[in-house]
Amino acid sequence: MSLQRQDHVVGDLTVAGHRRRGPGPPVVCVHGAGVSSRELLPLVEVLGERHDTWAIDLPGFGASGKPDRPLTLPALADVVAAWVEEAGLERPCLLGVSFGCQVVVDVAVRHPEAAAALVLAGPTVDPRGRSPWRLAGQWLRNAPGESPRMMPLNVADYRDAGLRMVLAAFGESIRDRVEDKLPLVTVPALVIRGARDRMVPQAWAEEVTRLLPYGRLAVMDGLPHMTPYRHPRRVAGTVAAFLSEVAV
């Protein structure tokens, strides 16, 4: 079974979704700043063998509709929560990647009924690195560890979104105080960090896990920031094991 494209209209915006309908409970993947579901499709392919797995494009990115002005982080979270309802999913697991983690945390805190569990893969932004320059430096240091095949996808994503949307997303990620919200997440949460992730220091990944009332940390040897793209099978295995344990 391969991927299906399924779009939904949330408010007046089309939200593009890619789905592989596995037998298990639903998982919805949310991408990082400026990019789209493109980088998450390999994970959807693999995780979709076991779970009803989705990857959506946030408004303004990928194949989704473009709002007049970039959405703030809470607005993006509201769209995700509304999309969950529109798609008819019952309390899925929300899997964020990078900035996507900040979005799904905001969903879990402000729409407690929307998600039954969270997976935070490479949660940004470390409060100690919260400046555009630090972030850019970390991004550059991380880049050599990423798969070279991801670069054209990123370029296509940035082209789709446009500079304004991309910069706005990075701005939102820096402004967001995710550490204040983590203690309010009431569902089980798995934090995934690539051991060679230069954007998410180990100490921050530990702090994220510590702040989550029901957090658990998985460190993946040898992987960079984008664990789901670099090693979708390992990430899918870890996520599936976590979900079977928390019985979502």
Partner 1 sequence: MKPGRVVASFDSATGMLRALSRFLHGRDVPLIGQGPAAAEPLAAALFGAANRLPRGLKERAYAASGWAEAVPLRQVGGIRSGALARWVTGHYPRRRSDVAFVGSANGALIHLCAALGAPWLPQTLLIPVRRHGAHPDEPREDLRRTREAGQALVTANPDLVLHQMHDANQDRLMIAGMSYFRVKWRRLPAAYRHHLEQTLAPGATLVVVDCELRWPVTQVGPRHLFQHGAPGGATREEYQDGGPRVADYLRRYGSPHRRWDYPAADGESPEAEWGFEPGLLPDLRELAARNGWRLARMSFAEPEHLSPVVADLYREWYRRRGLPADRLLAECFLLLEPWWTLRSGSVPYWMVFNTEPSRASLTGYLDGADPFEEIRLLLFSHGVESVGLATIDQWRETLARAGKVGVFTGVDTRAYPRDFAGLARAHRELARIRATVPMPLPMGWETAEKFLADRDELRWDTEEPTAADDRPGR
Which residues make up the interface to partner 1 (CB under 8 A)?
201-204, 206-207, 209-210, 212, 215-217, 219, 221-222
For the bound state, the minimum distance from the C-beta of residue 106 to partner 1, rounded and expressed in Å, comes to: 22
Provide, rounded to whole angstroms, the least separation between the CB of residue 143 and partner 1. 19
Nearer to partner 1, 74 or 145 (CB): 145
**Which residues, 6+ apart, have CB-to-CB distance to 110 below 8 Å?**
74, 77, 78, 81
Which letter, b or e, does each residue of 123-149 get, where b requires 16 or more Cβ atoms within 10 Å of its Cβ?
bbbbeebeeeeebeebeeebbebbeee
Q: What is the DSSP string of 207-240?
A: HHHHHSTTEEEEEETT--S-HHHH-HHHHHHHHH
How many residues are recorded in the chain?
Answer: 248
- 4 vs 202 by CB, closer to partner 1: 202
For partner 1, the closer of residues 52 and 207 by Cβ is 207
Cβ-based nearer residue to partner 1, 174 or 219: 219
